[in-house]
Amino acid sequence: MDQIKWGIIGCGDVTEIKSGPAFNKIDHSELVAVMRRNVEKAEDHAKRHNVSRWYSDADKLINDSQVNAIYIATPPDSHAHYTKKAAQAGKAVYVEKPMGLNHEECLEMISACEEAGVPLFVAYYRRALPYFLKVKELLDNDAIGTVTSVSIELIQPPKPDDFKSREEHNNWRTKPEISGGGYFHDLASHQLDLMEFLLGPIKNIAGNSTNKMGWYNASDVLSASFLFEKDIPGLGLWNFTAQPDQKKDRTTIMGRDGSIIFSTFDDSKPVLLETSSGKEEFDIPYPKHVQQPLIQTVVNDLRGVSESPSTGETGAQANLLMDKITGRE
């Protein structure tokens, strides 16, 4: 496959800047079709982004003979459904995160793609962003010596929609039947995937989750204790009920000779290296289209140039870890 011709299922907000434009900015890659259930919105998106075809029926996009790779950018409840359909049509799949509603769904997606002989990639784009590659570089170069522990803290205030009645609120991220959970599944999935990218597999993990405030039908405060295969212990805390001045997004990797501190979601905060020699900050802004570096690796993989770091197998791991933290596994 030399020219990757993409079709997008679900051309919503994430495709406006984060991902969609990147498909046309990469050599040997082209966005040729988009789909949204509302045909007027699909047409509007297509015309604004110079895409030649649009659909309101996903099957028509999947079976478009000009499309040979499909980006699934819908909420998680339909990821498995569309992945299986794309695989049956012989199309490569790049699917948004979290990969599925649970680990079992992810395994079904992997199996469907393997049986069809098509590759499967997951949009954990932090695996390719320079900000996080700097963290990996520091670790790989033993900048802090032997890693001894990890701490993840994500503290966020509620969104305005969270205070509406359960019948009125319109945020799919807090509806477990659509998202797989709450904000934890949307955000911690990135962090858990990133931890395995940086430090290798997590072999043991356990957690606690509670719906403390009862604003919606998903957990809003969660904690976890985990252990990497390298025998590095870690702790995680996710609290989505805080006051605005309590907001925190901080991951600390401690080593025998220092520490690396960084934010998962805010690139205005530099990567901070602290050792006995002093402090060093690395200001590395995200690119305009944050998924572009990862999409580049997907295109390279499909063309047989190099391998992408985010596959169905790695993506499923984040769901497995979340299932264990929330007691599903």
Cα distance between residue 96 and residue 80, in whole Å: 11
Which of 280, 315, 264 has its CA nearest to residue 102?
315
**In the chain, where does DSSP find H-type helix?**
39-48, 58-62, 79-88, 103-116, 130-140, 176-179, 183-199, 292-302, 312-325
User: Looking at the domain 130-285, which fold is it?
Assistant: Dihydrodipicolinate Reductase; domain 2 (3.30.360)
Strand order in the sheet with 69-72: 53-55, 29-35, 4-9, 69-72, 92-95, 120-122
Q: How many CB atoms lie within 10 A of CB 39?
A: 13
CATH of domain 4-124+290-306: 3.40.50.720
pLDDT, one tens digit for every residue, the chain (329 residues):
899 999 999 999 999 999 999 999 999 999 999 999 999 999 999 999 999 999 999 999 999 999 999 999 999 999 999 999 999 999 999 999 999 999 999 999 999 999 999 999 999 999 999 999 999 999 999 999 999 999 999 999 999 999 887 777 789 999 999 999 999 999 999 999 999 999 999 999 999 999 999 999 999 999 999 999 999 999 999 999 999 999 999 999 999 999 999 999 999 999 999 999 999 999 999 999 999 999 999 999 999 999 999 999 999 999 999 999 999 87
Every domain of the chain and the residues it spans: 4-124+290-306, 130-285
The letter for the amino acid at 65 is: S
